[in-house]
Amino acid sequence: MEQDMIRIHNLVKRYGDVTALNHLDLTVREGEIFGLLGPNGSGKTTAINCVLALLKIDRGEIEVFGKPMTPSSYEAKRQIGVVFQNVAVFEELSVLENVDYFCSLYVPEKVRRRSLVEEALEFTGLQDFRKKRPKQLSGGLLRRLNIACGIAHKPRLIFMDEPTVAVDPQSRSHILDGIVRLNQEGSTIVYTSHYMEEVEQICTRIAILDHGKCVAGGTADELKGMIRTAETITVEGIDLRPEILAQLKQAEGVFSADYSGDVLKLKYSTSGNLIRLLHVFEAEGIAFGRVFSEKPTLNDVFLEITGKDLRD
């Protein structure tokens, strides 16, 4: 049976007057790629640091691998890998030496370590850079090194805190593919990001955080099923008379119509509305530029629940 890897109950963490985690509840099961999705400042890093027992909590309970997590939970810590938000590697060591160093903290045997280090370099696509120093690497490669250092020992549970922030698309796809492969090889992964597309792409279950609370949780499909939006249609380069806009607002399934500049955005609680809309334009002789229909995104979920846009 799938075991709970992490159980967080009623967690409160304050920094002085700032309540960073406000009665947070979360459960991560074995085998998941669990996404913590939330804007900057929503408490993602704080939650990870609490689970790792790096921070003193004000209230609540945290269990990892079925046991309470404390600063001296060494047995649990040996089975955990962390990729911190801020890159932490040794400038004096090469790429290979960095990965080997971090791996050696967990794996003293040289032969096994050599193959783990090789695998980590391959995972992150750093084979050709093994002799380089960190300062010779681009930002994306440096992040990949940070990841290789955190995962080389193949931990049972891996935390990755925004590993793709400010990386080039090629590094980003390397990183995402690597996370999926690590998971396929047996690691449970907690992945934080404020990029909803990535979370949706790789995560098996997602918790949406806002102001230190979990405001919604489930698979991407479950989350999208919780909201009103079933389809968003955007029409660019359109000149709408006020009476037509009023008519569109009244149309079946439309619950929001936003018209600004020359862009019309319609939100529907039903799907399959594009043809009907085009018929209206045709009947009214209205010209338009690009038009496209979108299924709900996790941003729509965030927007409907919190009233804020994740992309702001």
Footprint on this chain of Mg ion (rule: CB under 5 A) = 44-45
Which residue among 6, 11, 37, 45 contacts ligand ADP (CB under 6 A)? Answer: 45
* Residue 38 partner contact from ligand ADP, Mg ion, none using kind-dependent CB cut-offs of 5 to 8 Å: ligand ADP
Told to check if 42 binds ligand ADP by CB under 6 A, we report: yes
List Cβ<8 Å contacts ≥24 apart for 247-256. Answer: 247/280, 248/277, 248/280, 251/276, 251/277, 251/280, 255/228
Report the relative pairing of strands 254-260 and 263-268 from DSSP bridges.
Answer: antiparallel
CA 28/CA 220 separation, integer angstroms: 15
Which residue among 9, 29, 41, 291 contacts ligand ADP (CB under 6 A)? Answer: 41
Told to check if 163 binds ligand ADP by CB under 6 A, we report: no
Token pair belonging to 15: 């920094």
Told to check if 54 binds ligand ADP by CB under 6 A, we report: no
Which residue among 1, 2, 40, 92 contacts ligand ADP (CB under 6 A)? Answer: 40
193/273 with CB nearer Mg ion: 193
* Residue 15 partner contact from ligand ADP, Mg ion, none using kind-dependent CB cut-offs of 5 to 8 Å: ligand ADP
36/116 with CB nearer ligand ADP: 36
Which residue among 5, 6, 11, 20 contacts ligand ADP (CB under 6 A)? Answer: 20
Token pair belonging to 290: 């690009």
Minimum distance between the CB of residue 312 and ligand ADP, rounded to whole angstroms? 14
Backbone angles phi, psi at 196, to 5 degrees: -65, -30
CB atoms within 10 A of CB 170: 12
Instruction: Name the residues that contact ligand ADP, by CB under 6 A.
Output: 15, 18, 20, 38, 40-46
